[in-house]
Amino acid sequence: MGRVVIIGAGGVGSVVVHKCAQVPEVFEKIFLASRTLERCRKIQADIDSPIEIFQVDADISSEVVELIRKCEPDLVVNTALPYQDLSIMDACLATGVDYLDTANYEPPDEAKFCYKWQWDYRERFEKRGTMALLGSGFDPGVTNVFCAYAQKKLFDEIHYIDILDANAGDHGHPFATNFNPEINIREVTAKARYFEDGKWVEEDALSVHQTYDFPEIGTKKAYLMYHEEIESLAINIKGVKRIRFWMTFSESYLTHLKALENVGMTRIDPVLYEGHSIVPLQFLKSVLPDPASLGKSTRGKTCIGCRIEGVKDGAPKKVFIYNVCDHEACFAEVGSQAVSYTTGVPTMIGAMLMLTGVWQGKGVFNIEEFDPEPFMDKLMKHGLPWKIMEM
């Protein structure tokens, strides 16, 4: 039994609260805190079991410390934005509480996400005797666990990994993002990067694509992108020669994104508007549909998985380990679309494994550093069944 504070009442936070509430034998007490209390209140009203809610500005570490002192949790789950990772980790260190998140830190004024900032906390967590689990969403998260499982159970040597993320869902809007618009657009417009033969190779954003056949959703064009799990998998999957990440987009998304980029609406540097300083991308976020509101209208499925190539018992082997998730089924269960759902379920599972002591350690860890099997079992039981296709 454990007490959990969830910070961030957006699309993902809402799913995490719903899924934790389904497992009361582990999540004895759930506290939800966010910048806008109204968002917490809405989630509280949707949940049958009682949860306590709080307002917090997680950019201010002392506010998070105060929240932790009030709630006395065993674990803080960060489903706010990557900008808050370090201030929440600082608060966890100050209070001696474990930490979990779904996306690695990036500074607001520089679109450069990498693990360095959070890996620099390793010694402090070790000394404090507490644990931080990084990237417990789907990608990063489940994709890392799939790779760890392949390393443990399916291969003697892993040579190539292609992480494929396809969303064949249609939300009915000409342009919307399935998770926080600011973070999504910063990620998609960043240079594509992949790991090959010990080096990083860089390409222009959205300049390289390949066509893949996805189970249940068919043939899709997927674009090479940089994604944070490549950084930790390049270290933790021994002997891997190449890791790439590919994501699909609708034509409408790409056309709108290009136009928005061309007119400067994706800029992250402040501009002067009628005497006020505004960041164009933050303004754009405020006029786009809220990802948490897309559940009702989204139809179709997602398919996310890892194509892994290597050697087993002296013979070449290639598999695709994947999950297919249906937007409408997610909405029926927790009132969210599948992108929030596929992120929120693994967040709950990571939290469950920490609270029950199945995964434990002192320091800062990426998810593939732990035994993947308990996590794979829980995916089957809590709404994200996976399959392995021999290729």
Which is closer to ligand NDP, CB of 151 or CB of 343? Answer: 343
74 near ligand NDP, rule: CB under 6 A: no
- We find the least distance from the C-beta atom of residue 176 to ligand NDP, in angstroms, to be 12
Q: Which of 2, 82, 363, 372 binds ligand NDP (CB under 6 A)?
A: 82
CB 333 within 8 A of CB 172: no
- We find the least distance from the C-beta atom of residue 229 to ligand NDP, in angstroms, to be 8
Looking at 81-89, 189-197, 203-211, 378-386, which segment touches ligand NDP (CB under 6 A)?
A: 81-89
Which is closer to ligand NDP, CB of 130 or CB of 366? Answer: 366
From 143, 134, 145, 53, select the one nearest 98 (Cα to Cα).
134
Residues 153-182 that bind ligand NDP (CB under 6 A): 179-180
The residues, ordered by sequence, that sit 6+ positions from 168 with a Cβ below 8 Å of its Cβ are 214, 217, 218, 220, 248, 300, 301, 302, 303
Residues 108-127 that bind ligand NDP (CB under 6 A): none
196 near ligand NDP, rule: CB under 6 A: no
3-state secondary structure of 320: strand
103 near ligand NDP, rule: CB under 6 A: yes
Q: Which ranges of 3-157 does DSSP label H, i.e. alpha helix?
A: 11-21, 37-46, 61-71, 85-95, 116-119, 122-128, 142-149
Q: Which of 4, 6, 9, 16 binds ligand NDP (CB under 6 A)?
A: 9
Ramachandran angles phi, psi of 15, nearest 5°: -65, -40
Instruction: Mark 253-292 with x for binding to ligand NDP (rule: CB under 6 A) and - for no binding.
Output: --------------------------------------xx
C-alpha distance from residue 239 to each of 22, 199, 233 (Å): 40, 13, 11
Lookup result for tokens 């303004």? 283
247 near ligand NDP, rule: CB under 6 A: no
- We find the least distance from the C-beta atom of residue 255 to ligand NDP, in angstroms, to be 23
Which is closer to ligand NDP, CB of 35 or CB of 301? Answer: 35
306 near ligand NDP, rule: CB under 6 A: no
- We find the least distance from the C-beta atom of residue 325 to ligand NDP, in angstroms, to be 12
Which is closer to ligand NDP, CB of 155 or CB of 245? Answer: 245
- We find the least distance from the C-beta atom of residue 149 to ligand NDP, in angstroms, to be 17
321 near ligand NDP, rule: CB under 6 A: no
Which is closer to ligand NDP, CB of 80 or CB of 97? Answer: 80
- Rounded Cα gap, residues 276 and 105, in angstroms: 27
Give Dmax over CA atoms of the chain in angstroms.
68
- We find the least distance from the C-beta atom of residue 90 to ligand NDP, in angstroms, to be 13
Q: Residue with CB nearest ligand NDP?
A: 10
- Rounded Cα gap, residues 102 and 115, in angstroms: 12
138 near ligand NDP, rule: CB under 6 A: yes
225 near ligand NDP, rule: CB under 6 A: no
92 near ligand NDP, rule: CB under 6 A: no
231 near ligand NDP, rule: CB under 6 A: no
366 near ligand NDP, rule: CB under 6 A: no
The residues, ordered by sequence, that sit 6+ positions from 389 with a Cβ below 8 Å of its Cβ are 215, 319, 320, 321, 322
Residue 27 CA neighbour count, 13 Å, CB half: 28
Q: Which two tokens stand for residue 171?
A: 């939300």
337 near ligand NDP, rule: CB under 6 A: no
- Rounded Cα gap, residues 65 and 13, in angstroms: 20
From 64, 135, 80, 150, select the one nearest 102 (Cα to Cα).
135
Q: What is the DSSP letter of 82?
A: G
Residue 211's CB is within 10 A of a number of other CB atoms, namely 9
Residues making contact with ligand NDP (CB under 6 A): 7-13, 34-36, 39, 56-59, 79-82, 84, 102-103, 137-141, 179-180, 183, 291-292, 339, 343
